[in-house]
Amino acid sequence: MLAVLILTVGAGAVAALAPGGLGDPRPEVVTEGVSADLYRAVVGVPAGVVRLGEHAALGAPLLLLAALAWVGWVGRRRRTGATAVVALTGAGAVLAYVTSEALKLVVDQERPCRAIADVPGWVPCPPAGDWSFPSNHSTVAGALATGLVLAAPRLAGFAVPAGLLAAAARVVAGVHYPHDVVAGLLLGTAVTAAVVVLLTPAVRRPVGSTRDRCAPERPAR
């Protein structure tokens, strides 16, 4: 089944990015490695770029939501399957977010703004216990971008960059490592794609049946 394959590949990729933490009561602290080095390089950008990143982290998901709402509205008017995909995208995004929160409690990875003290952050660091892996913002952004691509493939040129921008902005702000946001994007993408692939036929069928029953009968010739 395609949905199972998507979830399996996504889960494997997220697990490969996880720094550990399973069964260890101590917080996972990442100070070395490629992701930590990239974090140090990115957080050293000027404050103006960080402010832009903060706006992007909030604005990009809102734009994705607006685009999904528009695609759903147009799909409803034209009676296409896009409306079902948009509705399932919402369900997928919620499920992906809940999964992300559960993973945070398992991995217990400390925020980079707390673990890497030699790099001053531009924004306040989240409180202790607000774990870093994976990124919730990136998870939701990946879910929304994936749903928009599946509902309206012609908008992929907007959806993909918007999702990536929302994720990258969290690193620029200094509150996530690069591997946090990549894992979030993969998680949101895998869960939402699996939900859409698995449930779209079941959602479309009752809608189509209702329309058939409500359609006026044509006189016989």
Q: What is the pLDDT of residues 93-110, one digit of tens each?
A: 999 999 999 999 888 899
pTM for the structure as a whole: 0.84
How many Å apart are CA 178 and CA 50, to the nearest integer? 15
Q: How confident is the model at residue 207 (pLDDT cuts 50, 70, 90)?
A: very low
Q: How confident is the model at residue 35 (pLDDT cuts 50, 70, 90)?
A: very high
61's tokens: 């998901």
Q: pLDDT at residue 24 above 50?
A: yes
Q: What's the one-letter identity of residue 17?
A: L
Q: pLDDT at residue 123 above 80?
A: no
Contact 101, 112 (CB under 8 A): no
Give the other-Cβ count within 10 Å of 23's Cβ: 6
| CB-count burial class (<10 Å; 0-12, 13-18, 19+) for 186 | buried
Percent of the chain with pLDDT over 90: 41
CA-based end-to-end distance of the chain: 45
pLDDT at residue 46, rounded to an integer: 56
Q: What is the 3-state secondary structure (H, E, C) of 29-50?
A: CCCCCHHHHHHHHHHCCCHHHH
pLDDT at residue 138, rounded to an integer: 94
